[in-house]
Amino acid sequence: GAGGGGGGSDDAKPASKAVMGIGGTGDDATLDDVIGFHVSGEIVEATPVARTSAGISTGASVSPLPAPSFAFRPDAGDATQAAPTTCGYVAHVDALVYTPRSATLGQVAAALRASVASRVAELRVRSVSSSSTSSSTSASDPPRCLHFTPPGVGHAVSLVYPLGGGSDVDVGENPDQKLDRRLRSLHRRMGLPLDRPMLREANALGAFGSDTGDRSTQTRRLRDVHTMGLPKSRIDGGAESCVEGSYDYYHYGQDRVDDAGWGCAYRSCQTICSWFKLQHYTHVPVPSHVDMQRCLHRIGDKELDFVGSRRWIGAVELSYVLDELLGVTCKILNVPSGHDMPSYARELAHHFHTMGTPCMMGGGQLAYTLLGVDWNEKTGECAFLILDPHYAEGEDAGKIVPRWCGWKRCEEVFVKEFYNVLLPQRPTSV
């Protein structure tokens, strides 16, 4: 309206408050004025939002949703035909548009309204196709418009979830198979890799649940500590092979859990889980100590009295947790003595080159997170990039690097005892 929000003067000074998404060619326009031109149907109810001299006012029926809302009823079609199957649901309609920096507020609003109308049209087609394929759209999985910025594409990609199955829907497929097939088709069309997720819901801009902190305390953790001024290793002619992607540093005392002396393997597992979450392989929150204990009891590995205890776990238990909670498989290297670790440098370098996931290594009474290896193939000399979960102070990189996160030779950190090294495998899925 006036002030550049709709059909008013484009160069007028914007009002202190503006409503985007409701409005058409004037202040009193309704969504019908815009959406009616794009889809066959009518708006039967809308949250009335109008601009007044006092600011923004709403009608008596205010939407409980955090945005203007409306109800859309598609045309019934030919009266001689059977009435279509219908269902009610609340759809999240979100618009993203590109405009030049020189665009006026009125031009931006017009572009947003056109995008909203386009999304509603797509939702309508989705509802019709869902009915024809005997799939269902329901309140348990309502449609939602999501936006993505996959690397290498150069522009945002907008998709409506749940993703449709396309024209070649196989009614015998389960939902996971349908999603995987649809995502692979989209990855191929955009030239994206077929071994990592880039268009799943967790990849979306502003995705819900993207924080990896504890669900109750939301501890603010350091991320990618090894990039915070880490000195180089002292291996002459060595080749570094390190973790690929981001992770959060979990250590003793976080989340108000006093786990000093028993929680190092739990913390290493949390760091590994954060890597899979930050790389968007999973929506699952990073598990707490009790979450892991309950998981191990549920699968029959531990007795009930293990839940809530302060008992240690090792690499084998971590492999069970990652498999059960995240669907991640693991390999385990059995090392007779910590001082034999250099003889396994080739396998570890290969892991970081091909998988890129952080590892856990446990021996004696201690567990560490392994982030990399620096290895000279000719001399056999090597150093290991250790992220130590035994640190128990605040999130201060100056205190952590290089003592608690740094390059260590085997004799500096490992003991002459048996070690298991957990190598989580990167999923080959989209």
Residues annotated as part of the active site:
264, 388, 390
Task: Show the DSSP H helices in 94-163 as ranges.
Answer: 105-132
Beta-bridge partners for 359 = 370
Beta-bridge partners for 42 = 73
Integer Cα distance of 69 and 59 in angstroms: 12
Residue with the two structure tokens 């048996």 = 418
Number of helices (H) and strands (E), helices first, in the chain?
9, 13
* Among 71, 88, 84, 2, residue whose Cα is nearest residue 35: 71
Cβ–Cβ under 8 Å, residues 200 and 183: yes
Integer Cα distance of 399 and 138 in angstroms: 51
Beta strands of 112-242 (E only): which ranges?
Answer: 144-148, 157-161, 239-242
Pairing of β 366-375 and β 359-363: antiparallel
Beta strands of 53-185 (E only): which ranges?
Answer: 55-58, 70-74, 144-148, 157-161
Integer Cα distance of 132 and 126 in angstroms: 10
Q: Could you give phi then psi for residue 261, rounded to 5 degrees?
A: 95, -10
